[in-house]
Homo-oligomer: A and B are copies of this chain.
Amino acid sequence: MLQETAILVGKKPPMNYVLACLTAFHEGAGEVVIKARGQSISKAVDIAEIVRNKFMRNAIIKEVSIGTEEVPLREGGGTKRASSIMIRLSKSK
């Protein structure tokens, strides 16, 4: 079965997540899914492009999808809506 690793993009510098992707592929993942919400969406696209253009020329973007998620608020309960992105990277044969 195809091993899949998910990476959630947060507040760290982009290269941390690039390294996480490369490590996952190196450890045998067939696919790496990069996920982000809100302002981190731009960073997620940067990360996928850096992996593909600079470090793994044989990586391909298999799927990109966007959506809306309910995010719990820290104070007082309730939720707010935030846009999200999912980028699926895969190694070409």
Binding site for B on A (CB under 8 A): 38-42, 45-46, 48-49, 53, 61, 64-68, 83-85, 87
List residues of chain B with CB within 8 A of the CB of A46. 83
- The answer for the CA separation of A18 and B81 in the assembled complex, in Å, is 17
- The answer for the CA separation of A61 and B85 in the assembled complex, in Å, is 13
List residues of chain B with CB within 8 A of the CB of A87. 66
Q: List 25 A-B contacts (CB under 8 A).
A: A38-B42, A39-B42, A40-B42, A41-B41, A41-B42, A41-B45, A42-B42, A42-B83, A45-B66, A45-B83, A45-B84, A45-B85, A46-B83, A48-B66, A49-B66, A49-B67, A49-B68, A49-B83, A53-B68, A61-B65, A61-B66, A64-B64, A64-B65, A64-B66, A66-B87
